[in-house]
Amino acid sequence: MGFYIGGGIIVLFIIIWIVCYNSLVKYQNWVEESWYQIKNQLKRRYDLVPNLVSTVKGYTKHEQETLERVIQLRNQGATSEQSRSEEMETNNQLSQGIRQLFALREDYPELKANQNFLMLQEELTGTENKIAYSRQLYNKTVREYNTKIDSFPSNIVASLHNFQKADMFRVPPQEQENVKVEF
């Protein structure tokens, strides 16, 4: 009788272990999937930025530094291999630069009326909204994954199988401020 109880406990332990491990793998895959959703939207942004910059260049002469910074950040984010946190920082800076470009339209009435600029602005605004949603989904998924890593009994499985916590996407303080355009 003791043999059956001992065997049942071992089988129960193995089942719990397998369920915890599979759950951690599922959440880890969800984190990666949600990260690549952000990357898909960033790719769309990278494709739109050169068109926006070209349109703005035709109307603005004094903002060369802003335009060059946006182009540099776009190229840095689109082509280089960065760590996830470095890529997050680059894209936060690019978001700030794009907001500065949009703020320029107030000082250039011709730009404000340009159909290409308005169309690009609408596309980029939609893309920025999709990026924001993707970041929100990523953070939600990371929170669930990290909670799973911290929770018993999956924390034991996570530590023995070397599951690592994922980093949340954080908005830097400077991006929370209003955009200031100065000449």
- What are the structural domains, with CATH classification, of the chain? 2-176 (1.20.1440.20)
The confidence score (pLDDT) of residue 128 equals 83
Query: pLDDT of 22-69, one tens digit each?
Result: 999 999 999 999 998 888 888 888 787 777 777 666 666 556 666 677
Please state the pTM of the whole predicted model.
0.66
Mean pLDDT by 10 residues, the chain (183 residues): 85 93 95 90 80 68 67 72 78 77 67 68 82 90 94 92 90 57 40
Contacts 24+ apart (CB under 8 A), 119-123: 120/48, 120/51, 120/52, 120/55, 121/52, 123/48
The confidence score (pLDDT) of residue 170 equals 77
| % of the chain at pLDDT higher than 70 | 77
Report CA-CA distances (Å) from 76 to 53, 122, 138, 160. Answer: 16, 24, 22, 37
